[in-house]
Structure 1
Amino acid sequence: MSDQQLEPGTWRIDTVHSILGFSVRHMMVSRVRGRFERFDAVLTVPEDPLRSHVRATIEADSLNTDNEQRDNHVRSADFFDTATHPQWTFESTGIRTSGEDFLLDGELTVRGTTRPIELRLEFNGVTRDPYGMTRAGFHAETEISRSAFGVDIEMPMDGGGVVVADRIRIDIDAEFTREEG
């Protein structure tokens, strides 16, 4: 996948050194940013790294925008209904090259609805840490439509536009460690 190859094997996300963030336009004039605090991912790499597979789970109620009132509203049935749909998943379906980077295709399930998505994927390389663990880094980003996943709350503004936009930007910085043995 680059000058530095991923070794075949199973790689697990290091959540302490990874972030799953998002942003959405608010009131048509600014962006609200947030992240998910609890998630997991496993990357399986065969001899041909372009045939790799990733599966991720996200604990939906771990959403954090640094505002408790807003977070509770977004967790409610108005938006993500995390009491009924506590976990989201992503399962990759393929990887393609795109210049020096890659496109990661997969299926994202949010609020019980599964849709295909495409993430722009940057491979940041491989290194060995001081403890002998092999680490690999990635950056991925995409935009999704919240209404495509059944999050179709409409809050129109008097002057036009909506309180919360339909397009959500997702930014992921992921560090994986290779399981030895």
Structure 2
Amino acid sequence: MTTATTTFPGLTAGTWVIDAVHSNVGFTVRHLMVSKVRGSFEDFSGAVTVAADGTPSVTAEISVASISTRNADRDAHIRSADFFDAEQFPTATFTSTGVRADGSDHVLTGDFTLHGVTRPVELKLEFNGVNPGMGHGPVAGFEATTVINRKDFGISIDMPLEGGGAVVGDKITINLEIEALQQA
């Protein structure tokens, strides 16, 4: 059950569907201990459902096979059993369990499932407001960030470097930029 200690001005009751064309699900991960690889997922969906009392809840689904790091060989390796095992675990999901104020921002809590493992996560959430839209109804904007450890989700491949460290870091920063369109 979702609980809230805050409401979002202009975010009225109903279902707000994520507009994937105007949204981004991205990530960064440490590479070779000195830089970061950035990537995104091209295929995702979800909705924000706002109850009559203003309490929002969120559900989302990501096709892990839709990963893009702008390197076909790396993307194929990430889809393989070494990492996502996209054949066996084709989707990552999120279902919110609560939202609370945190200064001028918010914290969205929920259950995140990746690689067949479900763990609670907290996302730092910024509500960007509601706009009347461009003839298709109101649009709400959100930005959210969380950091997960891939090993907590059973993605435990180690690729050690000769001088110490690893090719791929354990911490993954997930960045969401979301536009959601209110349904009629």
Please classify the TM superposition score into its range, dividing by the shorter chain length: over 0.9
Measured after TM superposition, the shift of residue 46 of structure 1 is 1.1
How much does 1:135 deviate?
A: 0.3
Matched, 1:115 2:92: no
Verify: 1:90 aligned to 2:85, yes or no.
no
Say which is worse superposed, 125-134 or 81-90, in terms of deviation: 125-134
Give the C-alpha shift of residue 130 in structure 1.
2.5
* C-alpha RMSD over aligned residues: 0.9
Give the secondary structure class of the aligned counterpart of 1:31: strand
Q: Which runs of 5+ in 1 are unaligned?
A: none
Aligned counterparts of 1:112 and 1:88: Cα–Cα separation in 2: 8
Runs of 4+ in 1 over 3 A off after TM superposition: none
Structure 1 residue 127 corresponds to structure 2 residue 128: no
State the identity as a percent: 49
Q: Residue 179 of structure 1: CA displacement?
A: 0.3
Task: Give the whole-Å Cα distance in 2 for the aligned partners of 1:113 and 1:132.
Answer: 37
- Aligned equivalent of 1:77, options 77, 81, 97: 81
- TM-score, normalization by structure 1: 0.96
> Quick check: 1:8 aligned with 2:13?
yes
Matched AA of 2:38: R
Residues 71-115 of structure 1, C-alpha deviation per residue, up to 9 Å, x if partnerless? Answer: 000000000100110111100000011001100000000010000
Q: Distance in 2 between matches of 1:9 and 1:161?
A: 48
Q: What is the letter of the counterpart of residue 171 of structure 2?
A: R
TM-score (normalizing by structure 2): 0.94
Cα offset, 1:35, TM superposition: 0.2
Structure 2 gaps of 5+ residues are: 1-6
Superimposed CA distance per residue, residues 34-79 of structure 1 (whole angstroms, 9 cap, x where no aligned partner): 0000000111001333x21110000010000010000000000000
5 Å matches for 1:126-145? 126-145=130-149
Does residue 27 of the first structure (1) align with residue 32 of the second (2)? Answer: yes
In 1: Cα distance, 2:84 partner to 2:117 partner? 11
